Amino acid sequence: MSGPIVVVGAGQAGFQAAVSLRETGFAGPLTIVGDEPGLPYQRPPLSKAYLLASPDDPDTVTLRPQAFFERHTLKVVHDPAVAIDRPRSRVRLRSGRAIPYAHLVLAVGARARKLPVPGSDLDRVLTLRTRAEADVLRGLLREGIRVVVIGGGFIGMEVAAAARKAGAHAIVIETLDRVMARVVSPETSAHVEAVHADQGTAIVLGRSVTALHGVAGTVSEVELDDGRRIPADVVVVGIGVVPNTELAQCAGLEVGDGIVVDEQLLTADPRISAIGDCASYPSKHAGSRARLESVQNAVDHAHHVATRLTGAPSQAYAQVPWFWTHQFGMRIQTAGIGRADDLRVLHGDPTEGKFSVCRYQGDRLVAVESVNRTGDHIGARKVLAGAQHPTPHQVTQPGFTFKAFAAQTATAAR
């Protein structure tokens, strides 16, 4: 392809799409359209180390300096896209300017879900999706402040850990019966809850928030469905995200839980791809459509589309999904996608703080969650990408490692 390519979205997926296009030989005009000021940056640190850093510390989240974009002729436009003119192959920006494209990559991401209760518009009720939001929260975190986190997913538990490290009081409110229930097994949830409890995080399970109350326009209490009122100086809402599908929908593209794409990450319009957090794609590993929110998903989607657009043969997208979170001394890494009815087999000893949960559908390994066992995680990614998987019995045998199994199966396949 030699015509201009426009990437809408300046997050991890959009940035990587532009970089991968240059790396795979695309030399034509390439524009990244963003809706935030500044250069593209990483989001994962925003709920972890970034919250504990001083504003005077070196910038560790910007993906590349300005010189990189100039050297690779990557144009970044800080002017949000407001419409796609498909008949004319143009993207219209808020300023009224229109940018032509031979191919359009939608990497528009997702936005934080708002808390739908009275008082959610009070001051110091925050979500955490952008650098600007993280800057606000970082400016509030200090010793003794009372932080209530609504939502016990990855973001919520990471924020709670950062708050405790800053000396703040932290309490997590989760509607389900365990933290991170949508993404990890009961065994991993129990370990996370125990570590947080040891570090002073209070966790309230099985309760929902019905209202937020304030004094002089600033939040002061969180009311639960059992009538309890929890004092709060800051409330952080981490109840998931909503994919940004409006631009695609207004252009007549199919959307559902995300922008609908095929196994090549193409929409029904062959001139438009969608990648990253906003894309709903057929996943071999989920066994259905999936919309995943991870750096791995964003980067691998971007590589795949860049390869396809530069003319290299491209098979259906089938990369193994993986996710991670750091909280206190825990490094939790998941490869694959688990289901609620999985058979779960422990590899290692949770009492030692180092173990993996191997999740099976029948005898088929579908996911491995590793707590402080990075070797298991790396090996499991290789195993899940291959055709041969260890049985539940094999992973319980003394001396079993995913690394060794992956090496043996690779040798046997030659």
Q: What is the SS3 assignment for 222?
A: strand
pTM: 0.95
Instruction: Tell me how far apart the alpha carbons of residues 63 and 361 are, in angstroms, rounded to a whole number.
Output: 38
Write the single-letter amino acid at 183: V
Q: How far is CA 146 from the centre of its chain?
A: 27
Please give the DSSP secondary-structure letter assigned to residue 152. Answer: -
Q: Which of 303, 304, 302 is nearest to 106 (CA)?
A: 302
What's the CA gap between 372 and 368, in Å, rounded?
13
Residue 160 host element (H or E):
helix 154-165
Residue 7 in contact with residue 31, Cβ under 8 Å?
Answer: yes
CATH numbers and ranges of domains, the chain? 5-111+242-309 (3.50.50.60), 125-239 (3.50.50.60), 329-413 (3.30.390.30)
**Could you tell me if 14 and 40 are in contact, meaning their C-beta atoms sit under 8 angstroms apart?**
yes
- Tell me if residue 193 falls in helix, strand or coil: helix
- φ and ψ at 307, to 5 degrees? -65, -45
Cα-Cα end-to-end distance for the chain = 36
* pLDDT tens series, the chain, 414 aa: 779 999 999 999 999 999 999 999 999 999 999 999 999 999 999 999 999 999 888 898 999 999 999 999 999 999 999 999 999 999 999 999 999 999 999 999 999 999 999 999 999 999 999 999 999 999 999 999 999 999 999 999 999 999 999 999 999 999 999 999 999 999 999 999 999 999 999 999 999 999 999 999 999 999 999 999 999 999 999 999 999 999 999 999 999 999 999 999 999 999 999 999 999 999 999 999 999 999 999 999 999 999 999 998 778 999 999 999 999 989 999 999 999 999 999 999 999 999 999 999 988 999 999 999 999 999 999 999 998 999 999 999 999 999 999 988 877 665
